[in-house]
Amino acid sequence: MMAVDDYEIRLKGRISDSLLASFDGLDADFEPAETVLRASKLDQAALHGVLERVRALGLELIEIRQVRPGKYGTEHG
């Protein structure tokens, strides 16, 4: 069985609602000058798919990091 993890993906700028629709199933928050996508329980293939969408849409990736499950509500809440 392939391992699944939670990730936080930071993109430069505020992404429009129409572009966010390309990331169905991911949660999004906005910070000054950044969009933060949060993905739960992604395997490596799904993560690479998300990163490919980022590239295909011409979005600028700032950071991606693996986070502990359940961390979302505490760090950015």
**Segments forming the whole domain that contains residue 16:** 5-72
Tell me, what CATH number does 27's domain have?
3.30.70.100
**pLDDT at position 69:** 74
Say how many domains are in the chain: 1
Residue entry with tokens 């129409």? 18
**pLDDT at position 4:** 82
Residue 62 lies in a domain: yes
- The phi and psi torsions of 4 (rounded to 5 degrees) equal -120, 145
**pLDDT at position 1:** 52
Both tokens of 16, joined, read: 């429009």
% of the chain at pLDDT higher than 90: 71
**pLDDT at position 53:** 96
In this prediction the pTM is: 0.81
Residues of the chain with pLDDT under 50: 73-77
**pLDDT at position 68:** 80
